[in-house]
Chains A and B, each alone.
Chain A
């Protein structure tokens, strides 16, 4: 049996380690996707969101099975390289969007006088989970390839949409009444 202080210490170390992996993963994804032939994303820029069906397509094994039928190592290598880059770009794009949402949320909370501790905690935990997932996805894509992590990617995508929706709801609740009162004054 370990005591509560030891458990807390171990938990904190583990959390820090995982956050480190997440940050490193995101940074590396950025570096790798810069080798891609499209301009890198600006952290400030709002993106046209990636539709969920494309997340499933990027991480799908259907195309891999089709390429494998040709029994050409050259084609297989090309497919692995190409799809890995697309998947890493998606991870980078997702983590960029998550950071932007949280930045916007932090700015919005500064102006709000009606904060709910439970809601804020939930959002921070959701953010931490997402950043962690992005880090894990980065490592898994690098080591196992995108096709093996389809479920995780689809889950991360759904979570990021939940985070975006939560921020949108928060803005509607906090900024909406202000706009309304500004409009009526």
Chain B
């Protein structure tokens, strides 16, 4: 009985998160970064004021955690070509210069902190590896592309 009472609000919070926030984000890569940004660096818990107000903070946190893991596994299963398309969409939607973002991503590798806790290490390594490769391919393509005055 208790389990049912607890599970239903998490599902409702998850659906709410999906419909109100995640569906408005342009691509899975941006969704992953958004969800990772709702996680506290020190405690590893997730916070979302709107969701916590509609449900409870712990329920909102659980829904965010589930969504984070789900989007991470989804993105990690993409082929390099698909991930490159995700990166392209992310860069197109970003208000920063694509070259600057890429340079920062290659130097600082901020996408490393986008990995949820307790995911399979081989999948986590595959994700890091694929992002690194996608960045290298994107950069290579930019270097090969004819320069316009």
Contacts and interface: CB of A to CB of B under 8 A. Distances in A.
Interface of A: 36-39, 41, 47-51, 53-54, 57-58, 60, 62-63, 66-67, 70, 72, 74-75, 78-79, 82-83, 85-86, 89-90, 93
16 contacts: A37-B112, A38-B125, A47-B120, A47-B121, A51-B73, A53-B77, A54-B76, A54-B122, A57-B77, A60-B79, A75-B136, A78-B132, A78-B133, A82-B129, A82-B133, A86-B129
Contacts of B99: none
Given A63-B79, A66-B81, A54 B123 contact: yes
State which size class the interface on B falls in. Answer: 20 to 34
A47 B125 CA distance: 14
Interface in B12-63: none
B121 A93 contact: yes
Interface of B: 73, 76-77, 79-81, 112, 118-126, 128-130, 132-133, 136-137, 140-141
Mostly, the A contact residues are helix
The 3 nearest A-B residue pairs measured at CB = A82-B129, A90-B122, A63-B80
A37 B130 CA distance: 14
Contact of B140 (A57, A75, A90, A93): A75
